[in-house]
Amino acid sequence: MSVSVSPQAAMGPKLLGGLALVLALWLGWQAWVRNLDEACRLNEWPYLARCATQHDAPPAAQAAALLQRLADNPGDSSAAVALAVLASEQPDGRVAGVDADAALDAALKAAPQNGAVLSLQASRALRQQQWTQALDPLIRLTQFHQSNAAASLIGQLMANAAQAPGLQQALEAAAQADGRWLARVIYQMPKDKIPVAHAMPAVAQAMAHGRLDTALGRFLIQRLKADGQWLEAYGVWQHLWNRPLALLFNGDFEQAFLPGGFDWEPGQNNAHRAGAQVMRAGRSDRGQVLQVSFTGRPMAAYVVRQDMLLTPGIYRFSGDYRVSDLRSQQGLAWVFACASGNREIARTAPMLPEGRNWQSQTLDFTVPPDCGLGVTLSLRTQAPYEATAGMRGDALFDRLRLERREGGSPP
């Protein structure tokens, strides 16, 4: 059974009014007025009525001067913009017999890319719930005027799209046509405390048409994981690689790490003072392996980690290691934990020096239903005090694998 909801009922007057007010405050005529005032101060536009009477001049007097300028020169775009701004400032939307809508239409013809004009155009379309007509100037403000305020307003529209029939479709259509504007909007959303998950329907359109770059994709993944949206985050990760991915990514360490996604991330930067320096190193018989050099200094709680997306079920972890050159009392261990709450669910037997040969290990473990989809694998000291005290030596790791045994299924 479907229920019909009118646009007015879906997105109430208070919300619409609030959005239009935000637009007016952030994007409207304020920047234009500041520019005019500065031009008056520098005596750049002495013929402008505002410069002669900008302190206490009645709006009608300013409008009359602007109308005279337009009569003398119909192509005077600055006068057309100033008149549209002035009319929009009036409580009744009229000044000297000029209607704000008519003044805006004239300004759109004279200066269609002017920031103040675009702002007024968007504000009018928002009040009328004409989403496509509102998004077009907002996107131009975002993309060509680098307006964070316009990006912020688009983010608010995304957050409220479910309440307004047609708004989500308009957002997706805009992303499908040209998704370059999405970057500034998405980067702005966390600053406005808006979860980036609200942008995912539009992002899906950008991904479908090959318009999501790696930098924005990595930012999205980080924010989505932080907000607990693991399935969406992994979907973006898969899109960036555009190929089937193993449950444990880059377990052979053959490719450089890509931080911020579902790849390996060191616990410390490999600076001179790091307690555990993580790097990829070549071995003639194995290709690239993970090498960890311990410097004796204190280290982070984990040496290296990788986030994974795992459904509940039984899994088998396996891998090779060589810690013959490691001076440690209790050794190292690979630890699985639920990403939410960092609750440990399994760890390998301690990896201790056992000669100079490579050793293999296997661990079967269960991801419980209450773990959520996010699971973290990390390399840690078996004894927490050794992370604090530091240890010395080198450890090598290679051919790490994770396979689903029972119960789990691809998300």
Is there a single domain that holds both residue 205 and residue 62?
yes
More confident call, 149 vs 337: 337
In a domain, 244, yes or no: no
- The count of domains in the chain is 2
In a domain, 208, yes or no: yes
In a domain, 96, yes or no: yes
- Residue 91 sits in a domain whose CATH number is 1.25.40
Is there a single domain that holds both residue 216 and residue 335?
no
In a domain, 250, yes or no: no
pLDDT tens, residue by residue, 221-275:
999 999 999 999 999 999 999 999 999 999 999 999 998 899 999 998 877 788 8
Instruction: Give the pLDDT score at 210.
Output: 86
Give the residue-averaged pLDDT of 38-57. Answer: 50
Is there a single domain that holds both residue 309 and residue 200?
no
Give the residue-averaged pLDDT of 383-389. Answer: 90
In a domain, 349, yes or no: yes
Model's pTM, two decimal places? 0.81
Give the residue-averaged pLDDT of 272-289. Answer: 90
Is there a single domain that holds both residue 141 and residue 12?
yes
Is there a single domain that holds both residue 231 and residue 319?
no
Instruction: Give the pLDDT score at 5.
Output: 35
Give the chain's mean pLDDT: 86
Which residue, 349, 355, 352, is CA-closest to 335?
Answer: 349
Whether the per-residue pLDDT at 344 is higher than 80: the answer is yes
Whether the per-residue pLDDT at 321 is higher than 70: the answer is yes
Range of the domain at 60: 7-235
Is there a single domain that holds both residue 37 and residue 155?
yes
- Residue 293 sits in a domain whose CATH number is 2.60.120.260
182, 215, 235 - which closes a domain? 235
Q: How confident is the model at residue 13 (pLDDT cuts 50, 70, 90)?
A: low
In a domain, 256, yes or no: no
Is there a single domain that holds both residue 318 and residue 226?
no
In a domain, 260, yes or no: no
Distance from C-alpha of 188 to C-alpha of 172, rounded to nearest angstrom: 18
Is there a single domain that holds both residue 216 and residue 306?
no
Is there a single domain that holds both residue 231 and residue 271?
no
In a domain, 144, yes or no: yes
Whether the per-residue pLDDT at 409 is higher than 70: the answer is no
Distance from C-alpha of 277 to C-alpha of 291, rounded to nearest angstrom: 8
Is there a single domain that holds both residue 176 and residue 310?
no
Is there a single domain that holds both residue 121 and residue 214?
yes
Is there a single domain that holds both residue 325 and residue 222?
no
